[in-house]
Structure 1
Amino acid sequence: MHSHLHTPYNVNCEEIMTALDECHAKGFLWKAVGNCNDIKREVNKCLSAERYDRAKRNREEARSNRRRIEDIWAKERAIDQPSTAAPENAGASKQ
């Protein structure tokens, strides 16, 4: 079993996938002889390119989110440092 091909993620491959469906609809012997193999290769190329583009976008978005979160952490550390420095100095002067 394979996942559904006709999804919003694969809209750019819709035409090729429809051609493959039409080829498969011609019957078992048509497929068994290999008449649909070229179309199937084109579908695989298209889906692979779509998956690569989707992964690239996801990576870029994840890096952007990571930079944003690290900036927030850096700001929080900057806010917390002055408050932690004061008790350390106070403790040192008592001894």
Structure 2
Amino acid sequence: MHQQLTDKNIVCKELIKALEECHTSVWARYFGGCNQIKHDLNMCLRKERIERTKRNGEDAKYQYNHTIEIM
């Protein structure tokens, strides 16, 4: 489950809660009732990861260029 991510990913928080709630129903969990929510959550987390990776790359490039200028 994604419970540890609830505080970190405010954007995906509702999807995490919806998946947890869906998983309380054994029938929905085992017969695909939660699949769409899980897919939506995975896409949300993926989007967050891609944005974070892009930001980190931009920050690293800035730091590298800044270091080169100082030398």
Do Structure 1 and Structure 2 share a fold, with TM-score over 0.5?
yes
Cα 1:2–1:42, aligned 2, differ >3 Å: closer, same or farther? closer
Indicate the percent of aligned positions where both proteins have the same amino acid. 39
Unmatched segments (≥5 aa) in structure 1: 74-95
Unmatched segments (≥5 aa) in structure 2: none
Partner Cα separation in structure 2 for residue 18 and residue 54 of structure 1: 22
Describe how 1:1-95 pairs up with structure 2 within 5 A.
4-8=4-8, 10-26=9-25, 28-73=26-71
Q: Which has the higher contact order (CA 8 A, sep 6+)?
A: 2
For residues 5-43 of structure 1, the C-alpha deviation after alignment (integer angstroms, 9 at most, x for no partner) is 2132x11111111111110112x2220011000000000
Structure 1 runs (4+) greater than 2 angstroms displaced: 1-5
TM-score using structure 2 length: 0.89
Cα 1:36–1:12, aligned 2, differ >3 Å: closer, same or farther? same
Whether the aligned pair in 1 keeps the contact of 2:15 and 2:41 (CA below 8 Å) is yes
More helix by share: 1
TM-score using structure 1 length: 0.68
May I ask how many residue pairs the two structures share in their alignment? Answer: 71
